[in-house]
Amino acid sequence: MNTRNPSDQFDEGTLVNLAINGDLEAFNQLVLNNQDLAYNHAVAMLGDPATAEDATQESFIKAFQGLDRFRGGSFRGWLLKIVTNSAYDVMRRSRRHPNQPLFPTDEDGEEIESAAWLIDPNASVQSTVEQNELSKDIYKVLDELPDVYRSVLTLIDVHDLDYTEAAQALKVPIGTVKSRLARARLQMKNKLRDACQIPANFDRAHAACAI
């Protein structure tokens, strides 16, 4: 007897609807489709592969148990919000959650967006990887970024989430996503320039760090 493969017949929205109605095979396919994204997001937040794996597994269990609360829209954004919550739970349990704010805020508690951070806001780290074949160097530097920068950069420049999905995943306003992304890209540019002696024009650096 042939086993139905949901990925051959249904898009993600249909898989979600099937899973909500009790189709375990459809949910398993959703897990397969999103497990790398979820795990990488957890690693970006926690910085530890083993802990991230536990958080990812916990998140999929929570997602399965909470499917009836999914209200449409981006499933991966909804899933990554659960991963974010699980990661914060881990941080609280391990007392690693920062006690001091990492970003300046205004009187309303919103992060301050400084024009100085918005240098070359359209420069995609992922496109630079493809252009310059410096993926090993870039991911090494990516690992050195603070968790909050690494997570937003990974979501948008590596996994191609849009601002709305990233905001949902990180539980912050879209403006905060844009601000953090600009800061993260600038830090990446500066770190790569320092590590690889690449020229000031990041997008045209071809061979300075080639291995």
Q: pLDDT by residue (tens digit) across 100-121?
A: 444 445 555 555 444 333 344 4
Spatial CB neighbours of 118, under 8 Å, sequence gap ≥ 6: 182
What number does CATH give the domain 10-93?
Answer: 1.10.1740.10
Say what the pLDDT of residue 9 is. 63
| Whole-angstrom distance, CA of residue 118 vs CA of residue 179 | 8
Q: Please, what is the average pLDDT of the chain?
A: 74
What SS3 class is residue 183? helix
| Whole-angstrom distance, CA of residue 52 vs CA of residue 36 | 11
pTM as predicted: 0.58
Whether 172 contacts 156, CB under 8 Å: no
Say what the pLDDT of residue 164 is. 92
Burial bucket for residue 56 (CB in 10 Å: 0-12, 13-18, 19+):
buried
For 167-182, what is the mean pLDDT?
91
| Whole-angstrom distance, CA of residue 141 vs CA of residue 40 | 15
- The residue extents of the domains of the chain are 10-93, 115-204
State the architecture of 115-204 in CATH terms.
Orthogonal Bundle (1.10)
